[in-house]
Amino acid sequence: MKIEVWSDFVCPFCYIGKRRLENAMEKFPHKEQITLEYKSYQLDPTAEHIPGKNFYETFSELKGIPLEQVKTMNQQVGQQAASVGLTYNFDDMKYANTFDAHRVAKYAEEQGKGKEVTERFLHAYFAESELLSDYDTLIKLATEVGLDKEEVEHVLQSDKYRNKVNEDIDVARQIGVQGVPFFVFNEKYAVSGAQPPEVFEEVLTKVWEEEQEKPVLQSLNPKKSETSYCTDEGCDE
């Protein structure tokens, strides 16, 4: 079974959804036959870090949302993160453009380290308040998971993997992705949002049993489910 996951490193529900899927996979009897592939997506392609402004202030100004409302929203997201063992440090988080981080992730994937880099970048952003648009930071994080420092530097100082990142974003647009995380199973079955683990468990079983029967991509979101996801307008739940 192939699972493709469109996500962004600065998307709080992407990390939550990642962990929920992983928890479901641990209970899946055929987990050894799952291939997991992460796809690039940018919530804000124009994002840039503004020194001297924290995440709350930047997000409030960009989205036109009162500062206190932004803080309340993030507190609620932090509670969801904590429910799956994640710690989000919104107070020190740094708003950043993730395009170069996605390029490094594409290089990491070719080196068999895609999953490791994805996890490292997400944890660095949400728990350690690392600036994911900073080249030195990306190099440090990538080498921590075993990538060659000089090769990572070369990637960042060139245009390598730019096309691959853009291809992922284009495909997302073509298949109708409106927010992330977005999960595609065997290129036929779609699930959007950070669904609860039990939903992913049901989806894994359903796809495994029916993968030869329905070749058309279909949504497996429960009809009455409440889910959480991020769009370029912000994160909602």
Model pLDDT for residues 109-119, shown as the tens digit of each residue = 999 999 999 99
Q: Given this model, what pLDDT does residue 33 score?
A: 93
Q: How confident is the model at residue 232 (pLDDT cuts 50, 70, 90)?
A: confident
DSSP state of 220: -
- How many separate helices (H) and strands (E) can be counted in the chain? 9, 7
Please determine, for residue 97, whether its predicted confidence score (pLDDT) is greater than 90. yes
Q: Given this model, what pLDDT does residue 22 score?
A: 97
Spatial CB neighbours of 168, under 8 Å, sequence gap ≥ 6: 6, 39, 40, 41, 102
d(CA 110, CA 103): 11
Is residue 200 within 8 Å of 20, Cβ to Cβ? yes
Percentage of the chain beyond pLDDT 70 is 95
Q: How confident is the model at residue 225 (pLDDT cuts 50, 70, 90)?
A: low
- pTM of the complete model: 0.89
Spatial CB neighbours of 174, under 8 Å, sequence gap ≥ 6: none
Indicate the average pLDDT of the chain. 93
- Residue 185, phi then psi, degrees to nearest 5: -105, 120
Pairing between strand 234-236 and 35-40? unpaired
What structural domains and CATH numbers belong to the chain? Answer: 2-236 (3.40.30.10)
**CA distances to 63, 103, 172 from 166, in Å:** 25, 10, 10
**Percent of residues in the chain assigned helix, strand, coil, to nearest 5:** 50, 10, 40
Is residue 89 within 8 Å of 126, Cβ to Cβ? yes
pLDDT tens track for 121-174: 999 999 999 999 999 999 999 999 999 999 999 999 999 999 999 999 999 999
Q: How many CA atoms lie within 13 A of 221 on its CB side?
A: 17
